[in-house]
Structure 1
Amino acid sequence: MQWIPSGQPWEIQFQIAWPDGTYRSVVSCARAHIASDGTVLRWFGVISDQTTG
């Protein structure tokens, strides 16, 4: 988790198993809100279901 203090945006794709046994493809990405002095104030992110059909 070295990216946390760096403030660099990130994105990752993975699968999640649902209770019914199916798998969903998701993408997670986040961007930092950075102060004028360069410190990371907070992160904003989203996880989005990419499964089709």
Structure 2
Amino acid sequence: MDAKVSEILRMLDNYEGNEKEIFEMLEREVTARKALRKSIKKRLQSIENNS
């Protein structure tokens, strides 16, 4: 588990009514991971096409 996910889980454990902030952090993390996944997929396709 990476540091960002651990941070979010700690926030959930210490929940103090900050659901909007937690939700926004989760949205940013999901968006970042989707972008990374898309980038990796494009790189792999490029490597396959050049082989």
TM-score of the aligned structures, taking structure 2 as reference length: 0.24
Name whichever structure is richer in helix by fraction. Answer: 2
Higher strand share: 1
Higher alpha-carbon Rg: 2
